[in-house]
Structure 1
Amino acid sequence: MRLGFVQGTLRRLAAHELRMFTSFGLWIARRRHQVRSADRPFGYASPQAATVYGLAFVCVVETVGVSFMVRDWPAVHAVLLVLDLYTVLLVLGTQAVAVTRPHVLTPDTLRLRRGVQVDLAIPLAHITSVREELRFGDGKATPEEVLDLAVGSQTSLTVELAAPVTHVQLLGKRRQVTTVRFHADRAGELAKALRAAVAAGPGSPEDWGHP
């Protein structure tokens, strides 16, 4: 049983990295993952962009410096060069997946994503309220029923649900959530569009807005 768990974990991690690297192609082509013509995408990558690019620059500088220091040991140089370049790709990959996998508002679903780690579909019929609420991470643990999808340590929207939805974590663990906090670069626009979409649907609440 333990061997099966390890194998399953390795498969999930390998699939995670594969999705990350395939996002580079979408990024270069300026395309987005699974966004149809009738859907409305909303990005969330802005708060982390400066950090990602800054870290990538530091990694490049470190790669050049280390390559210079070990130039007299070809085998060591080759191994470290591969590891350093792989690290640079992983760092840039966090931005690539965030840009190419935005949140998506469809006629019946709010699809919230955070890179390739989170992909949560919330039926609009489950949503009871949406709040524009800028929050910064304080290091405190969130309740089990609250999903916090912070980007750059911040969230800007909160949605409350009448019925729980299942969040599947990277390694397969599942939990039921009834409140989701997340960030959107155009938070006000998404909040307005989301309220309108829920109000237009069947069974929408009469008193829409802040609870």
Structure 2
Amino acid sequence: MSEPHGPLRSYGRLKSRPIKPRQAALMDTLLPQIRAPAEPFDPRALEPDAAEVWIEIGFGGGEHMAAQAARRPDVLVIGAEPFLNGVASAVRHLDEQGLSNVRIHDGDARALLERLPEGSVDRVFILFPDPWPKARHHKRRLIQPDAIEALARVLKPGGRLRFASDWADYVDWTLERFLASPHFAWPAERPDDWRRAPADHVTTRYEEKRLGDCAPVFLDFVRR
């Protein structure tokens, strides 16, 4: 991610349907208050008393992000999502639950990672990202060597990263690339370690749709 790249782009539509009036109002009022800074920043400056800093990349409708933030009010959660409908849904969840420990980057996650200091993040979630199943589209997948390098840069030693997918090929793709990285370890010891949802996982409506070709797989990596 530190290497030069073309204009930041999230493939697909940035808006798929009209945003509901209440959500649109929150986009104008709440979002500017909780938007992550547009310049390089230290997350600890946003919440000096936060016990940890977590990031969710591609938070979809924000259900998981909001639930984790509600469970751990002592943690600062930063979510990245380029799709406006997802951001609109997320700000509604945050408003309804009165959550103040969340910041949102409404754009490409690469730009967010580039603005964070080295070793400033304790945990990362990448849950059910777009699998781009056609071989000619694999280059659009989020999990690429440069993304893994960027994630390794911002994660603290011992920091954790959870990847989940219900597409078998994307699971294999991800595992192969993380195992090839010198920065991450995969401490799984038995099939249940990846076949069963972790105790702290929050199931979302998207996950329940089972749109993939396999049961959900959870890969928890540790920053060396």
Higher share of residues assigned helix: 1
Question: Which of these two proteins has the greater Rg computed from alpha carbons?
Answer: 1
What TM-score range do you get, normalising by the shorter chain? under 0.3
Give the alignment's TM-score, normalised by structure 2: 0.25
